[in-house]
Chains A and B, each alone.
Chain A
Amino acid sequence: MNGLLQQDLNQETFTINLGPQHPATHGVLRVKLVMDGEYIVEAEPVLGYIHRMHEKMGENRTWAKFLPNCGRMDYLCALSYNHGYVAAIERAAGIEVPERAEYIRVITVELNRISSHLLWFGAFVLDLGGFTPLLYAFDDREQILDLLESVTGSRLTYCYFRFGGVYNDIDDSFITGTREFIKRLRERLPMYDALVTKNIILIKRLKDIGPISKDMARRYGATGPVARGSGINFDVRKHEPYSVYSEFDFDIPVYEEGDSMARYMVRMKEMEQSMRIIEQALDKLPEGDIQPKKAVKMVKPEKGDYYHAVEAARGSFGVRLVSNGTNTAYRLKLRSPTYSNLSLFGEATKGMLLPDALALMGSLDLVIPEIDR
């Protein structure tokens, strides 16, 4: 009793539960923080609040039936996940994809990436206390959703790609709409720049805050904008080109600083690069089929172990599938980028102030359902 009391008196730190319902965690992430005043002594992300066993679900249904699950992991960049899964199956089963379908995939995925980054941009500034940019970003994002809805039929959890192609063909109204949108976003990005990026308050909050070193990013397996903000020049689209990405001319924005500002800038620049890709793809868009000539019926990949990675908005999304030659997976392992990106949070925030840590968390661009799967 006495000892307990003594311990209590000597305790200079306190524990605080950030989440599972907290405005800054954007979902049901819980972070257990041991704090010394406002300084974080230890941060431990606690996951699993919306675990839905997607990997296990993949093992008890046919390959095709798993398709709608993909969009429900990362609901902000659902098409990348569709792409990753479909491409893995195509690699495993040796399905040829018509060129037009590949182009359509690239166009829609890049649109989806812009929409994801726009949402992140708004939510990130919201984390920093600025409400208005969120709604401006949503205004732009809404245009993308309208475009994608006119093609895929849904606005968020798309299930658009099929083994060997895509589900619907794009039409002229989509192409002109996309071109108009790119024009619109090109005019809006300088506005975001002036309103947010160059704002002294934002610069003060992000510059040199939350540094993630190259080494730390490597050790935790961080990918995507988080790694590129730490100076690691790695983008699956460029370094392990899949689909038709090798035919386009685009840059990978890489920043060496590793602070929150660098991650912010990477994403802002990526939107511009995505627009470049879309424009080139629209220019080069070939005529032809959107599904293979010989319709893909029951997919039965040969026995073996397959892996395919794509660059999703948050990093490298990998699908590893072990097939035993039947119409269901023996094992389906999904490597989601945010899981690795989040795991460095504990080390990176050591000794940091709470608001800075939340700025860092915002700059990681977390999507909780994707972490938990």
Chain B
Amino acid sequence: MPEPFRVILFIIFVMAFAGLNAAYLVWCERKGAGHIQRRIGPKEVGPYGLLQPIADGIKLMTKQLFLPKGVDPILFMVAPLMVMVPAIMSFCVIPFSEIFVAREINIGLLMIFAFASVNVLGLLLGSWGSANKYAVIAGARCVSQNVAYEIPMLITTITMVMVTNTMNLNEIVRLQDGWFWHWYVFRLDISLLMPVAFLIFFVCSLAETNRAPFDMAEAESELIAGTYTEYPGMGFGVFFMGEYANIVIGCALTTILFLGGWQSPIPLDFSGFLGVIWGLFWFLLKLYALIFTVIWIRWTYPRTQFYELLNLSWKVLIPFSLFNLILTALQIKIFPWL
């Protein structure tokens, strides 16, 4: 297939994936929350409430895009896109399977982090533009939270890059070929703290995506809806989709770095089309297992207090990730044959 067609096809796929994924993650979230709380969750629209996200989407889309008095119209309208677009862009380098990737570029990991930091800018602009005091508080929280959590996340990522010697995501997955104990999370021979690094990375990705228990920016019992307080209809909808797309990116990255991406846990490889499906299956399985954990966490814990969140980052995550970095460096230096 000629390259431009492939890319266009893939972009269409990615956008459809991001949209549908957001819609059905909401369904999963509501269903999951329901069962955790011993109720059913959505069930009226369609079988098992499966059409509920569509109904919600239509409802959001038909709402008036109302501009409250005093908002900065440009920032207000652009902000949701600044959350959504980088998330979709990041999908381009995520390898869903060995060849099922839009662009296999050498700095894929770096690119995702570059785009991920645009997300917080979108939230900040949105909250500033809405000229609402609650939103401004949320925006300020959002920025300091993201700054604090990007550090341990990047340190952990550097550790992983040190281990893999590449920022090509596909290459990283290929390095974890074979049995499931070749996945980096189980590679204690590389670094004794590998499972801890995995936890740190996962917690940071929760905080980066503003998910509970770190959902300071939304904090419905304190700031009403935080950043989204003034957003009507699809303005809110796009934020929402962006948020879920970011969760997927975070979980996909965790899967790729630590859980072997599209590798199956047993060394069983197929070639051709079946191979693509096989890889896709394992990737999505791991991805959604992680996403389910994210949902599960949200419906279990209360929200952290703001300074506790920063304390966790500065007193626990950063020291541990730095220690992990040094330990890994030493282990690689001392046992270079591993």
A and B: interacting chains: yes
Contact B220 A23 (CB under 8 A): yes
Q: Is residue B137 contacting chain A, with contact meaning CB distance below 8 A?
A: yes
Contact A204 B305 (CB under 8 A): yes
Residues of B within 8 A of A130 (CB): 300-303
Knowing A129-B215, A135-B39 are in contact, say whether A205-B220 is a contact too (CB < 8 A). Answer: no
Contact B212 A132 (CB under 8 A): no
Cα(A201)–Cα(B306), bound, Å: 11
Cα(A195)–Cα(B37), bound, Å: 13
Residues of B within 8 A of A131 (CB): 33, 37, 299
Which of B215, B224, B299 is close to A132, meaning CB atoms less than 8 Å apart? Answer: B299
Cα(A128)–Cα(B301), bound, Å: 9
Q: Is residue A248 contacting chain B, with contact meaning CB distance below 8 A?
A: no
Cα(A358)–Cα(B305), bound, Å: 11
Most buried by A among B133, B302, B305: B302
Cα(A320)–Cα(B20), bound, Å: 63
Interface of chain B residues 114 through 156 with chain A (CB within 8 A): 133-134, 137, 140-141
Residues of B within 8 A of A359 (CB): 305
Q: Is residue B308 contacting chain A, with contact meaning CB distance below 8 A?
A: yes
Contact A125 B306 (CB under 8 A): no
Total B residues in contact with A, Cβ cutoff 8 Å? 28
Q: Is residue B235 contacting chain A, with contact meaning CB distance below 8 A?
A: no
Q: Is residue A49 contacting chain B, with contact meaning CB distance below 8 A?
A: no
Contact B222 A354 (CB under 8 A): yes
Which of A125, A205, A358 is close to B308, meaning CB atoms less than 8 Å apart? Answer: A205
Knowing A139-B38, A354-B137 are in contact, say whether A127-B221 is a contact too (CB < 8 A). Answer: yes
Q: Is residue B86 contacting chain A, with contact meaning CB distance below 8 A?
A: no
Q: Is residue B163 contacting chain A, with contact meaning CB distance below 8 A?
A: no
Interface of chain B residues 191 through 243 with chain A (CB within 8 A): 212-213, 215, 219-222, 224
Cα(A127)–Cα(B220), bound, Å: 9
Taking the nearest CB of chain A, how far is it from the CB of B309, in angstroms? 10
Which of B37, B134, B213 is close to A16, meaning CB atoms less than 8 Å apart? Answer: B134
CB closest residue in chain A, given B303: A129
Contact with B along A16-48 (1 / 0, CB 8 A): 100000111000000000000110000000000
Residues of B within 8 A of A358 (CB): 221-222
Contact A128 B224 (CB under 8 A): no
CB closest residue in chain B, given A21: B224
Contact with B along A331-373 (1 / 0, CB 8 A): 0000000000000000000000111101100000000000000
Q: Is residue B331 contacting chain A, with contact meaning CB distance below 8 A?
A: no
Residues of B within 8 A of A356 (CB): 305
Cα(A297)–Cα(B72), bound, Å: 69
Q: Is residue B304 contacting chain A, with contact meaning CB distance below 8 A?
A: yes
Q: Is residue B36 contacting chain A, with contact meaning CB distance below 8 A?
A: yes
Residues of A within 8 A of B307 (CB): 353
Contact with B along A163-207 (1 / 0, CB 8 A): 000000000000000000000000000000001100101101100
Contact B221 A24 (CB under 8 A): yes
Cα(A128)–Cα(B304), bound, Å: 8
Cα(A173)–Cα(B37), bound, Å: 29
CB closest residue in chain B, given A124: B302
Residues of B within 8 A of A353 (CB): 305-307
Taking the nearest CB of chain B, how far is it from the CB of A348, in angstroms? 17
Taking the nearest CB of chain A, how far is it from the CB of B133, in angstroms? 5
Contact B221 A126 (CB under 8 A): yes
**Contact size class for A?**
20 to 34
Contact with A along B241-273 (1 / 0, CB 8 A): 000000000000000000000000000000000
Q: Is residue A250 contacting chain B, with contact meaning CB distance below 8 A?
A: no
Contact B302 A202 (CB under 8 A): yes
Residues of A within 8 A of B222 (CB): 24, 354-355, 358
Knowing A199-B301, A201-B301 are in contact, say whether A38-B306 is a contact too (CB < 8 A). Answer: yes
Knowing A131-B37, A136-B37 are in contact, say whether A201-B221 is a contact too (CB < 8 A). Answer: no
Residues of A within 8 A of B301 (CB): 129-130, 199, 201
Residues of B within 8 A of A202 (CB): 302
Residues of A within 8 A of B141 (CB): 38
Interface of chain A residues 32 through 69 with chain B (CB within 8 A): 37-38
Cα(A202)–Cα(B221), bound, Å: 15
Taking the nearest CB of chain A, how far is it from the CB of B2, in angstroms? 50
Residues of A within 8 A of B305 (CB): 204-205, 209, 353, 355-356, 359
Residues of A within 8 A of B221 (CB): 23-24, 126-129, 358
Knowing A131-B33, A135-B37 are in contact, say whether A199-B137 is a contact too (CB < 8 A). Answer: no
Taking the nearest CB of chain B, how far is it from the CB of A364, in angstroms? 15
Most buried by B among A125, A129, A136: A129
Residues of B within 8 A of A125 (CB): 302
Contact A128 B302 (CB under 8 A): yes
Taking the nearest CB of chain A, how far is it from the CB of B40, in angstroms? 12
Taking the nearest CB of chain B, how far is it from the CB of A113, in angstroms? 24
Taking the nearest CB of chain B, how far is it from the CB of A350, in angstroms? 18
Contact B133 A16 (CB under 8 A): yes
Contact A355 B306 (CB under 8 A): yes
Taking the nearest CB of chain B, how far is it from the CB of A207, in angstroms? 11
Contact A205 B219 (CB under 8 A): no
Interface of chain A residues 201 through 257 with chain B (CB within 8 A): 201-202, 204-205, 209
Contact A205 B302 (CB under 8 A): yes
Residues of A within 8 A of B220 (CB): 23, 129
Cα(A14)–Cα(B220), bound, Å: 21
Contact A201 B224 (CB under 8 A): no
CB closest residue in chain B, given A127: B221
Cα(A196)–Cα(B301), bound, Å: 8
Cα(A129)–Cα(B302), bound, Å: 5
CB closest residue in chain A, given B212: A129
Known contacts A131-B299, A132-B36; 5 further A-B pairs (Cβ under 8 A) = A130-B300, A135-B38, A135-B39, A355-B305, A359-B305
Chosen A-B contacts, 21 in total, with CB atoms closer than 8 Å, are A16-B134, A126-B221, A129-B212, A129-B303, A130-B303, A131-B33, A131-B299, A132-B299, A132-B300, A201-B301, A201-B302, A201-B304, A205-B302, A205-B304, A205-B305, A205-B308, A353-B307, A354-B222, A355-B222, A355-B303, A356-B305
- Chain B residues in the interface with A (C-beta under 8 A): 33, 36-39, 133-134, 137, 140-141, 212-213, 215, 219-222, 224, 299-308
